[in-house]
Amino acid sequence: MTDFELDHTGVAVRDLDAAEATYRGLGFNLTPRSFHSGSVEPGGPVVPWGSGNHCAMFESGYLEVVGLTDAALHSSVKTFLERYEGAHIVAIGSGDSQTTFKALSSRSPGVKAPIRLQRDAVYGPDGSETRLAAFSNISIDSAYFSEGKLIFIEHLTRDVIWQPHLLDHPNGASALAEVGFCVADVTATSDKLQKLLDIESKEVMPNVARFKLPRGTIYVMNEAGMAKWTPGVTPPCIPYVATVGFEVRDLDATRRLLNDNGVPYTDHPYPALWIGPDHTCGPVISFIQA
């Protein structure tokens, strides 16, 4: 078994400027805007893509807010937004991509060969330098896994991504803790994830299964399970990457920030706060006491 970990999730947005303001209002310290380039096909040349992002980096994992910057160029964001605005990408940190590709291919159909993706990233506290951030990504074919854009990622330049000055957030977020899929059939999706991750799920409440990784958690729920978790939230479609959760150092401080910024929230009992899709560009976002 590979020690997989929850690496990042990506929220596809229609208006990157507006989404940047939204996520800063939620208390995230975002990176300056960065623009993607990459291979369109495995082994192909690296070319400019039509998307850009802002990221919120944590001690463990990160959040990507991604949108179109040039509709004439290749970008998976176009396909995402045809379905809904919100979380689509669920990335699993996997180490060496070639080794991971062999392991995944032996257990599951739909595993695509690694492709290289890269972007220029502002480097240093004063933003005076630009360095290349590079990744090797294994995608799972959407014909097999339609629940979201599931990728297994090897970071080739971790020092460029996880810069110390980026890790402090006004909302106190310290880790990407969890991601939840809302699906039609919990058992069917769990079976696919079990093959890919090589771990078994556990039913934590009716209609909700949990995959506990060495770092981070993936939940699989149906609409009935989601209705118990986040009452009143209606999925835009099924399947849907429904929930994204972050650990915070001091939940009371997070609550004060949301109050100051006029962001409505609901209390989870465990303890945590959750914010509905109307205030997050799509996903239900939870802040969880670490």
Residue type present at position 5: E
For residue 92, the model assigns a pLDDT of 98
Domain of 263, CATH number, reads 3.10.180.10
Cα 258 to its chain centre, rounded Å, is 22
Last residue of a domain, one of 166, 195, 211: 166
Q: State residue 141's pLDDT score.
A: 97
Instruction: Report residue 142 as tokens.
Output: 């959407």
Per-residue confidence (pLDDT) for residue 259, from 0 to 100:
98
What φ, ψ does residue 184 adopt, rounded to 5°?
Answer: -75, -35
Residue 1: pLDDT above 50? no
Point out the domain boundary residue: 129, 146, 166.
166
Q: In what order do the strands lie in the sheet with 240-248?
A: 202-205, 208-212, 217-221, 173-182, 240-248, 284-289, 272-275, 266-268
Q: For the whole prediction, is pTM greater than 0.85? A: yes
Q: Which two tokens stand for residue 107?
A: 């257990």
pLDDT at 23 over 50: yes
Which tens digit of pLDDT belongs to each residue from 254-289? Answer: 999 999 999 999 999 889 999 999 999 999 999 999
Residue 2: predicted pLDDT: 64
Are 177 and 216 within 8 A, CB to CB?
Answer: yes
In the listed set 145, 166, 187, which residue is the last one of a domain according to the structure? 166
Domain that holds residue 118: 5-166
Cβ atoms within 10 Å, residue 114 = 24
* Range list of H helices, the chain: 16-25, 77-83, 97-107, 158-161, 186-197, 223-229, 251-260
Residue 38 has pLDDT above 80, yes or no: no
For all residues of the chain together, what is the average pLDDT? Answer: 95
- For the chain, the domain total comes to 2
Write the Ramachandran bin of 61: left for phi over 0, alpha for psi from -120 to 50, otherwise beta.
left
